[in-house]
Amino acid sequence: MDARTLLAAVDDVKGRAADALLVILPARREAMAPGADWAGLLDEALDRADLVLEKGRTLYLHRPAGFAAARLLFVVAGDAAELSPRDMERALNAAAAVLRTLPVKSLLLVWGGAQALDAAAAEAAVRTLRAAQYVYRHTKPSAKPAGTVERLQLACRRADQAAVREGLRRGQALAAGIELARDCANRPGNHLTPTLLAEQARQLAAEQPGLEVEVLDRKAVEKLGMGAFLAVAKGSEEPLQFIVLRYQGAPKKVAPQVLVGKGITFDSGGISLKPAAEMDEMKFDMGGAASVLGVFRAVAQLRPRLNLIGLVPACENLPSGRATKPGDVVTSLSGQTIEVLNTDAEGRLILCDALTYAERFKPAAVIDIATLTGACVIALGHHRSGLFSPDDGLAAGLLAAGEAAADPAWRMPLDDDYDEALKSNFADMANVGPRAGGAITAAMFLKRYAARFRWAHLDIAGTAWKSGAAKGATGRPVALLTHWLLQQAESEGAN
Ligand code: BES
Ligand code: MN
Ligand code: ZN
């Protein structure tokens, strides 16, 4: 689907031409808009039990009499009177599954509840529809389209049009950011090497006015003294890249937010080699980096009043005659030494140097995003990302952004007691602790490099991609991060 959306007036639904009219219904009759154009059809369908008011149910009507639209589809959302972004997402996914089977190019969408359609619901609508129609083509150009909708008209009351228009704008920008993140993360390791990832960042900056990019090579990284990052990169023939993205939307003196994305384009585990089963999924180990690119795309489109820096340490984690060995001790950019007990705990090694590098920007806050631990998948499964932060305000803001964006996270602990696990007799710290609490000790490791700014860590190991038949990148947490940034820009402006 391209970027076209239009607003329509709700009192005009019957006469509007469209390939399909999609009516989203609340699950309770009392919550429905009185006197709607479709009320007669709906009453009859409900009386005959052709449609049941349960979440996700749909009813398709062909050439509905009295409507200019060629088709009518009812879909039942949640039972709350207001339509939450998550309910809109669920309803539209159910509708998209039906629409996919029909040649529908123009879709007229209307909310059948009595409550106003708000900006958040409009945002969720356009975002979900675009996500439902996404197909990966980079190495499979023959892939069939996942939907035919090209134009979305959203009907709402005239009084709500300004809010809905803003929601659509956000939804389009988020969709574009999420699509970029998915496209990047889905690319296999041989089609997205660190060099090609840097190329993607350059291309993004070239396409989007207001973005700048700079890429540091191995020599520059050596000169800086990023010994932990180098220790991971040195097992591979592919040259490492340290990508720095910049967006300036506020005066220079305004402290920037900094996003740090883990950019392991393939994680074999290194000398601590991973088992063969599902190792292919470690091409997604640059999901954090992909989300940073996605956020920059969305931000460049929305142009909020804030300054933003993106840092992506990118390399492969491979075994070789030059690879780091278990027991090797390396010196990080911060000067702290690390005993590499397990070369598969490489994410924290590349991130710690990027966190230290972030200090030079005197950041308002630093958020790192990483497919960091299998333990986080065990703890939270695939619905919520793990959020770690010693800063209650920052944590609350990110959690709220996750809820508002239907891209939720869950806060995890960072008590000092967990730090014991990282003690080493040969260096300032070890890079792994015991299996138990593995997501937390990974975060505790990063915390040692984040003492000089407000910091949060998002472990997206369970949320960045799906396995099985639906294998593919999700684009998370682009929506959470973008929402949080927009919120920061608004509260900045209020001061
Ligand atoms: N990229 C992996 C984490 C991962 C594993 C994400 C499986 C999603 C699914 C990370 O680099 C890693 O290998 N972590 C190790 C850490 C361990 C050695 C302490 C892990 O989780 O097993
Ligand atoms: Mn690993
Ligand atoms: Zn990894």
Give me ligand 3 centre to Cα 46, in Å.
51
Q: Match 């956000």 to its residue by tokens.
A: 170
Q: Which residue has the higher pLDDT, 216 or 494?
A: 216
Return the best residue to mutate from 280, 316, 318, 373 for the ligand 1 pocket (most ligand atoms within 8 A of CB).
373
pLDDT score recorded for residue 2: 55
The ligand with the least distance to the CA atom of 377 is 1
Q: Domains, the chain, ranges and CATH?
A: 2-157 (3.40.220.10), 178-494 (3.40.630.10)
How high is the mean pLDDT of the chain? 96
Distance from residue 373's CA to the centre of ligand 1 (Å): 4
pLDDT bucket at 8, cuts 50 / 70 / 90: confident
pLDDT digits (tens, 9 = 90+) for 321-355: 999 999 999 999 999 999 999 999 999 999 999 99
d(CA 376, CA 334): 26
Atom of ligand 1 nearest to the CA of 317: 11
Query: What are the structure tokens assigned to 229, written together?
Result: 């990052």
Whole-number Å distance between alpha carbons of 210 and 309: 12
The Cα–Cα gap between 366 and 38 comes to: 50
Could you list the beta-strand ranges (E) of 300-441: 307-317, 328-331, 337-340, 365-370, 385-388, 409-411, 429-430
Alpha-carbon gap, residue 344 to 287, rounded angstroms? 17
Say which ligand is closest to the CA of 431.
1
Nearest atom in ligand 1 to the alpha carbon of residue 274 is: 13
Ligand 3 midpoint to CA 175 (Å): 26
Q: Which atom of ligand 1 is nearest to 435's Cα?
A: 19
Indicate if 348 belongs to the active site: yes
**β-sheet bridge partners, residue 388:** 457
Measuring from atom 3 of ligand 1, which residue has the nearest CA? 373
Confidence check: pLDDT of 454 > 90: yes
Q: How far is the centre of ligand 3, averaged over its atoms, from the C-alpha of 350 (Å)?
A: 10
**pLDDT of 354:** 99
Dist CA 31 CA 80 (whole Å): 8
Cis peptide before 477 (omega within 30 of 0): yes
Please say if the pLDDT value at position 3 is more than 70. no
* Measured distance CA(484)–CA(366) in Å, rounded: 12
Answer yes or no: is pLDDT of 79 > 90: no
Tens digit of pLDDT for each residue in 132-190? Answer: 999 999 999 999 999 999 999 999 988 899 999 999 999 999 999 999 999 999 999 99
**What is the per-residue pLDDT for 165?**
94
Beta bridge partners of 369: 261, 458
**Ligand 2 centre and the CA of 270: distance in Å?**
8
Selecting among 90, 348, 447, 476, the annotated active-site residue is 348
pLDDT in tens, 289-328: 999 999 999 999 999 999 999 999 999 999 999 999 999 9
Residue nearest to atom 7 of ligand 1 (CA): 374
Instruction: Report residues whose beta carbon is within 6 angstroms of any ligand 1 atom.
Output: 267, 285, 342, 344-347, 371-375, 377, 432, 438, 461
Nearest residue (CA) to ligand 1, atom 22: 374
pLDDT tens digits, residue range 17-37? 999 999 999 999 999 999 999
Output the pLDDT for position 4: 73
Quick: pLDDT tens for 356-387.
Answer: 999 999 999 999 999 999 999 999 999 999 99
Q: Which two three-digit tokens encode residue 317? A: 């984690």
Residue 1: what pLDDT?
56
Give the alpha-carbon dihedral of 42, 44, 47, 48, to 10 degrees. -110
Q: Beginning with the edge strand found earlier in the chain, give each strand of the sheet holding 328-331 in spatial order.
A: 328-331, 337-340, 429-430
243 pLDDT higher than 60 = yes
For residue 5, the model assigns a pLDDT of 74
Mean pLDDT for 415-420 is 98
Strands 409-411 and 307-317: unpaired
- Ligand 1, atom 5: nearest CA belongs to which residue? 374
**In terms of Cα–Cα distance, which of 286, 298, 273 is closest to 187?**
286
List 274, 305, 452, 471, catalytic entry? 274
Nearest-atom index, ligand 1, CA of 272? 18
pLDDT of residue 493: 56
CB burial string 297-335: b at 16+ within 10 A, e below:
bbbbbbebebbbbbbbbbbbbbbeeebbeeebbbbbbbe
Joined tokens for residue 80: 């709350």
Please say if the pLDDT value at position 279 is more than 90. yes
How many residues comprise the chain? 495
DSSP class per residue in 81-105: SS--HHHHHHHHHHHHHHHTTTT--
- State whether the Cα torsion 364-258-218-279 is positive or negative: positive
Q: Taking residues 453-458, report their average pLDDT.
A: 99
Task: For residue 264, give the ligand 1 atom closest to its CA.
Answer: 1
**Distance of CA 347 from the midpoint of ligand 2 (Å):** 6
Q: How many whole angstroms separate alpha carbon 191 and alpha carbon 169?
A: 32
Cα–Cα distances (Å) from 85 to 22, 408, 436, in that order, read: 17, 11, 35
pLDDT for the residue 209: 93
pLDDT of 99 higher than 90: yes
Q: What is the pLDDT of residues 438-449, one digit of tens each?
A: 999 999 999 999
Nearest CA to ligand 1 atom 16: 345
Q: How confident is the model at residue 192 (pLDDT cuts 50, 70, 90)?
A: very high
The whole-angstrom separation of Cα 473 and Cα 136 is 10
Share of the chain above pLDDT 90, in %: 94
In contact, 218 and 321? CB cutoff 8 Å: no
Dig out the tokens for 86 from the structure: 């998550």
| Angle, alpha carbons 489-295-286 (nearest 5°) | 145
Predicted pLDDT at 60: 97
Q: Which atom of ligand 1 is nearest to the CA of 285?
A: 1
Centre of ligand 2 to C-alpha 345, Å, is: 5
Read off the pLDDT of each residue in 51-67 and give the average, rounded to a whole number.
96
The Cα–Cα gap between 338 and 432 comes to 10
Mutate to test the pocket of ligand 1, among 272, 281, 344 (most ligand atoms within 8 A of CB): 344
Query: Please, which residues have CB less than 5 A from ligand 2, an ion?
Result: 267, 344, 346
Q: How far apart are CA 317 and CA 493, in angstroms?
A: 42
CA distance 307 to 252: 8
Alpha helical stretches, state H, 368-437? 374-380, 392-404
The predicted structure's pLDDT at residue 387? 99
